[in-house]
A and B are shown apart, each in its own frame.
Chain A
Amino acid sequence: MPRAIVLDGKDNVATLIDPGRTGERCALQGEAGGETVLLQDVPFGHKVCIRATAVGADVLKYGQVIGRASAALRVGEHVHVHNVESARGRGDRPKGGER
């Protein structure tokens, strides 16, 4: 079973430290336990959503904001540049991306 590390109890993502396939269960380790069923293939080192997150909400890893959800995130979904975006240094956005 692929392993996924949760770094802080507040996090809504976990980091896979083995490659995961669609439909596979991954074992949560670290600051949360249990299992999450992967809705998509998630490569080694990529993130999976472990807590449903609304569009525009903060994405948390290390208990810190790593960006905001650019689409609603379902539990088990691959979380990456297609559905989370940076809020820093964004010259292409008003106010540099900050809210």
Chain B
Amino acid sequence: MRQSKVWISTVILLVIALHAVPVFHAGLRKRIWPILDWAMYKDASPPGPIETDRKRIVGITATGQREVISKEAVGLSSFALDRLYAKPMKVGDSSAAHQLVLRLNRQRQDPFVEVRLEVETFTATDTGIVRRENPPITYRVDPTPSR
């Protein structure tokens, strides 16, 4: 076999073999792009209501302004914003709210003093989509980093 073909064959085998790494090594799973673990939407759901949430984080500033906190304002993707802040806030994790406010206040003149998670629940029924508004989960936070 020509040397170039040996090299190409080696790379092909190596890349194929590397795809086993994210499957078996959880620590590397998120860090070795473009070699990925391709398990997507893998978990099954039992029979039950077809229900989902729509979350929105709202901030209140020291001067009383109300602002919807977008992914652009935080500097993260919507998935990361949801995973790192919205989901923990939904289950009562005040440290996530605190971290979010510190992150946002770094570059602000009018700092946030309160963040609120607003959750709407939507259910698919035989007669259409039913929307339910849940009580907001509010976190009051010290706008300055603790020393």
The judgment on whether A and B are partners is: no
Footprint of A on B, CB under 8 Å? none
Footprint of B on A, CB under 8 Å? none
